[in-house]
């Protein structure tokens, strides 16, 4: 796997081998049993790597100043993979005529949501490389491992419309490789999707959704609890959490 250079002015990233196999003599083989995911506090782990999935990226790109928040908060700790960039590029290219009088309120609401996703994705396509470097590219030999993760994800109920998200699976595999290279003991996947979180946990990777990332920012005094809740309400117009995990008010960001 390869990771892009840091953005101009950012502090240097920890050195990560371009291909862990080239350092250790062969691509690391995964054990049948992955370690349990590490326990996290509500604060950012300063020694962890955070792997950004598409949904949390869209959430922050949809709010005013969201990209600045991500950059200041995570700096060199943030990573993302080329499969996730491909998803953003696809979403940025979405096009559909605006609904007319003959469309239902639900159809109009869906069109507005897709347009918000498009605008957020367009921002991510330009801003992520500029702020965090180019996406990590997994070697071709990792395709079989990613395919195995896709099959595992597809087996989780309920079935996901449109099939499994390859970006999520590539992100989990990238997290495994980071851990195998012993460059970080804690890997955190930033994902909103329940099934992606379950997949990450099965492979020893912790997870954060967009609300928990906002909570980290509250703990570091980058946001007040009210600001975090206001940001969440805007984010939820673009991407949403399962009902049981949705914050009910500012105090849920304590």
143 assigned to some structural domain:
yes
Does any domain span residue 12?
no
In a domain, 44, yes or no: yes
Is the pLDDT assigned to residue 19 strictly greater than 60?
no
Residues 205, 189 contacting (CB under 8 angstroms): yes
Give me the mean pLDDT over the 84-106 stretch: 94
**Residue 208 scores a pLDDT above 80:** yes
* Residue 26 belongs to some domain of the structure: no
pLDDT reading at 44 higher than 60 = yes
β-partners of residue 207 are 189
- Structure-block tokens of residue 187: 């890997």
Query: Residue range 48-52: average pLDDT?
Result: 96
For the chain, what is the HEC assignment? CECCCCCCCCCCCCCCCCCHHHHHCCCCCCCCCCCCCCCCCCCCCCCCEEEECHHHHHHHHCCCCHHHHHHHHHHHHEECEHHHHHHHHHHHCCCCCCCCCCCCHHHHHHHHHHHHHHHHHHHHHHHHHHHHCCCEECCHHHHHHHHHHHHHHHCCCCCCCCCCCHHHHHHHHHHHHHHHCCCCCCEEEECCCHHHHHHHHHCCCEEECHHHHHHHHHHCCCCCHHHHHHHHHHHCCCCCCCHHHCCCCHHHHC
The yes-or-no verdict on residue 34 having pLDDT over 60 is yes
How much is the average pLDDT of 93-103?
Answer: 92
Report the pLDDT value the prediction gives residue 227, as an integer from 0 to 100.
98
The pair phi, psi for residue 164, each rounded to 5°, is: -75, 155
If you average pLDDT over residues 199-207, what whole number do you get? 96
CB 227 within 8 A of CB 91: no
The number of domains in the chain is 1
How far does Cα 192 stand from its chain's mean position? 8
Q: What is the pLDDT of residues 131-181, one digit of tens each?
A: 999 999 999 989 999 999 999 999 988 777 665 589 999 999 999 999 888
The rounded distance, in Å, linking the Cα atoms of 176 and 246 is 28
Instruction: Supply the range of the domain harboring residue 70.
Output: 39-253
Residue 128, domain member (yes or no): yes
CA distance 129 to 41: 29
Residue 206 has pLDDT above 80, yes or no: yes
Q: What pLDDT is attached to residue 183?
A: 62
Average pLDDT score over residue span 234-245? 94
Residue 82 lies in a domain: yes
Inside any domain, residue 71: yes
127 within domain boundaries? yes
Q: What was the pLDDT predicted at 180?
A: 86
């Amino acid at each position: 796997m390869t990771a892009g250079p840091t953005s101009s002015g950012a502090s240097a990233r920890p050195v990560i081998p371009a291909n862990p196999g080239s350092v250790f003599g062969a691509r690391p083989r995964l054990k049948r049993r992955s370690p349990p995911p590490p326990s996290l506090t509500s604060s950012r782990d300063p020694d962890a790597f955070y792997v950004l999935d598409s949904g949390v990226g869209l959430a922050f790109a949809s709010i005013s100043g969201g990209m600045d928040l991500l950059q200041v908060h995570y700096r060199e700790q943030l990573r993302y993979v080329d499969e996730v960039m491909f998803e953003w590029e696809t979403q940025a290219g979405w096009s559909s005529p605006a609904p007319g009088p003959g469309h239902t309120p639900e159809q109009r609401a869906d069109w507005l949501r897709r347009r918000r996703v498009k605008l957020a994705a367009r921002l991510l396509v330009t801003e992520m490389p500029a702020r965090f470097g180019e996406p990590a590219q997994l070697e071709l030999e990792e395709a079989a491992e990613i395919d195995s993760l896709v099959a595992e994800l597809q087996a989780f109920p309920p079935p996901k419309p449109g099939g499994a998200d390859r970006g999520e699976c590539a992100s989990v595999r990238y997290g495994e490789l980071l851990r195998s290279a012993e460059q970080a003991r804690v890997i955190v996947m930033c994902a909103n999707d329940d099934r992606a979180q379950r997949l990450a946990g099965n492979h020893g990777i912790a997870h954060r959704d967009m609300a928990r990332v906002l909570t980290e920012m509250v703990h570091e005094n980058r946001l007040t609890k009210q600001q975090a809740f206001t940001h969440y309400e805007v984010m939820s117009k673009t991407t949403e959490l399962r009902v049981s995990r949705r914050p009910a008010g500012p105090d849920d960001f304590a």
